[in-house]
Structure 1
């Protein structure tokens, strides 16, 4: 007879939730991934965020079937007592299995090739206009083309970060560095670190970095309590300065989005020159150097400083469309405080996102974000297949009485501005005091 199975309770499992003592459950089997977290391809943040929980749905969403073979060496010999799966999870796992059998995760179509051709055209047109034309208006248009060039590089960088868009991992890595670091000046390592955290903790005010834009924007009055960002490991202080900026956030939203790339540049350098472990740090830095050589050099060919500034502003402003798109899918959706739960993966992903309704010929413009619900449920699914699986997801949401929100691009903007305006009006309520900042305390210190 075999050795009898050993069990631990959910309460006992939840105690193993920190660095050096990190356990998770997958289909009721307990795994010790304390050491693996240090070299986990997705970074340690996703494991730490869901540590001490059953993470079956998150695991199957992010990993192909081949990943199961590596779990054995982490098995503790324990099983989760009273392990069960909800009806929603059962249907979600069944749908994912069916999509896998249909080859939906492998069929990538010709989208990558078309995107690369479009990027090449936009870049060459912009360079040609600067080098071969003297018209100020042409130079302004070239700035706009550069902005659209960056948008398309962002889409393919996003795709290559979620699944292999090329024939090999080496080529896929090349596309990541090319589209992110070399073309856009954004560290792909920073993006993956940030984006993985966003997916795992979708719309958690404390764990999702995509909602942590204090002091410029808040999507909920819950931020007025000065929440802690567990991603950035700091307190998000809502002081008098934050209150002032937030009070007008619905008016400053679009202007700030026009300059949002400056923050991404800063975050890239902060990560690369920090003590945090960054895979392939040398490649990342070299890629950024390529960007900071070719872009300033191209700008320098413009005839005067006025046109140079105009070109930079135009390219940044057009790319601001993409930064707005990043916000539309989540700002007006349901938010919560605290860590995510592995037991309601499907529910959290659906109520925390919304789709943007559009015709198929406009898919190039949205880059897959128009099917954000589907993307969050199946992050490895190639962009070209998101439209195909949308009816199945919608039916699953209907079956389990979950919202499936899909609105026009215009309405998504309206809902986002309404969310920002509501929080702004609450911030203007002067009857509610805010914590004093350090400057105030220093000026008003006596003795």
Structure 2
């Protein structure tokens, strides 16, 4: 890839004429060493580099934090300062993922979200403008540096234990399960006809297939199952677009925002559910004080069952996916999603006709929706929600996520998202290893006094409604306050 020259905040150009990634300057601008040195992506990612480096401009945290806007965006990764202002529109994870960390240390989130570090380093090189001054801490001063160091050591330990290596057999079996369910639904219809009992049966088979497809595409979207990234990309398109009828790019841009700033207003799109629902402690009070009452929020825990559960997939997600694909001109995704509907019309059209097939598609999504809504919301809605507090990565993820007790059924039913804490701390870790690393995460939480929440499945479901009732009470107190 050919990079355009970038302009640093101090007026210097960053490009081919700039010092190499491993160069270093004294405070007076004079070079310390002249020899070029190559540093591997993995060394840079862990902040390990013992070879001589040329000079770089040095910055204080105060200077870095001033560049915290989309039009002027700096990040710190392993003490290196990067100006990513001109890169945000080309970032594969979307511009907002970068802007959410503007002016902050992004070392742990960078390591958590990227798989191929050596490749990513090639994109970082032209964006490098300097490094933190020697007297500056590696993270912002409000963060617990010892906790950050311990978490990074935990990650290195897990990498040594090969906890980030995916088991191809495990995911292949899940994929085969989905294909068998799809084939079985069609065979039942072909053999028994399209009577109501058979239609109900195949709808349930397709619902299970769709739910398990959701979990599988979630896996593929985060981690590398195949050795070559192009196969991961192709499989993600197949599962998300062809099997589910949703856009991969829409999902990536939305879901990655949720991962890097979970339960943080207004950076996490998953908690932006107003004006239909008010969640957390801040949003209800804000609406109440402004005397906003689009609907009767006192009963939001009741219409969660009537609106939120059944309509999340067939209405909200489908319409948003289609809107984003059209507005952003994601032609590849549009073609793949079209193949989902074509497949259904070819498979079920001879039995139900065009209108009946459309009804079948959305009836299945209607049945799948409560399943997915409960699984995705039970680990976040009852947890802490706040505005930006610039906490360290470990604390951020632990405070806003909770686990559900492990069992064979819970693991299968949730697609291992019952280990939400481990998944958020290590998004690129394959789910079959979550239970192995959970004791180590729990131990680190205990060391720093952070609560590691682990619930029974039914209690986790019930906490969604109890939280909605609590938020409604906060709204009422603020709304009716004289």
Q: Find the aligned partners of 2:306 and 2:369 in 1 and give their Cα distance.
A: 12
Match of 2:37 in 1: none
Q: Find the aligned partners of 2:427 and 2:150 in 1 and give their Cα distance.
A: 17
User: Is residue 2:26 matched to residue 1:4?
Assistant: yes
Which of 64, 82, 86 in structure 1 is aligned with 2:136?
Answer: 82
Instruction: Please identify the structure whose Cα radius of gyration is greater.
Output: 2
Q: Secondary structure at the match of 1:370?
A: coil
Deviation at 1:312, TM superposition (A): 4.0
Deviation at 1:62, TM superposition (A): 1.7
Match of 1:51 in 2: 102
Gaps of 5+ in 2: 1-23, 28-56, 140-144
Aligned residues: 416
Contact 1:17-1:48 within 8 A present in 2 as well: yes
Deviation at 1:150, TM superposition (A): 0.8
Match of 1:322 in 2: 372
Residues 153-174 of structure 1 show CA distances to partners (whole Å, capped at 9, x for unaligned) of 1111111111122242222111
Q: Find the aligned partners of 1:303 and 1:28 in 2 and give their Cα distance.
A: 61
Q: TM-score when scaled to structure 1?
A: 0.86
Q: Find the aligned partners of 2:237 and 2:202 in 1 and give their Cα distance.
A: 24
Contact 1:37-1:43 within 8 A present in 2 as well: yes
Q: Secondary structure at the match of 1:259?
A: helix
Which of 233, 241, 253 in structure 2 is aligned with 1:173?
Answer: 233
Contact 2:178-2:212 within 8 A present in 1 as well: yes
Match of 2:250 in 1: 190
1:4-403 equivalences under 5 Å are: 4-5=26-27, 6-64=57-115, 65-66=117-118, 69-70=121-122, 71-80=124-133, 82-85=136-139, 86-134=145-193, 135-224=195-284, 239-241=292-294, 243-244=295-296, 246-256=297-307, 257-261=309-313, 262-274=315-327, 276=328, 281-296=330-345, 298=347, 300-302=349-351, 309=359, 312-337=362-387, 339=388, 341=390, 343-360=391-408, 362-403=410-451
Q: Secondary structure at the match of 1:247?
A: helix
Q: Structure with the greater relative contact order (CA < 8 A, sep ≥ 6): 1 or 2?
A: 1
Contact 1:333-1:354 within 8 A present in 2 as well: yes
Q: Secondary structure at the match of 1:110?
A: helix
Q: RMSD in angstroms over aligned alpha carbons? A: 2.6
Residues 311-358 of structure 1 show CA distances to partners (whole Å, capped at 9, x for unaligned) of 743552134201211101100001102x352x5111010010000112
User: Is residue 2:463 matched to residue 1:409?
Assistant: no
Gaps of 5+ in 1: 228-236, 435-447
Q: Find the aligned partners of 2:356 and 2:474 in 1 and give their Cα distance.
A: 41
Residues 398 and 138 (structure 1), Cα distance of their counterparts in 2 relative to 1, 3 Å cut: same
Q: Find the aligned partners of 2:102 and 2:346 in 1 and give their Cα distance.
A: 47
Q: Find the aligned partners of 2:481 and 2:235 in 1 and give their Cα distance.
A: 50
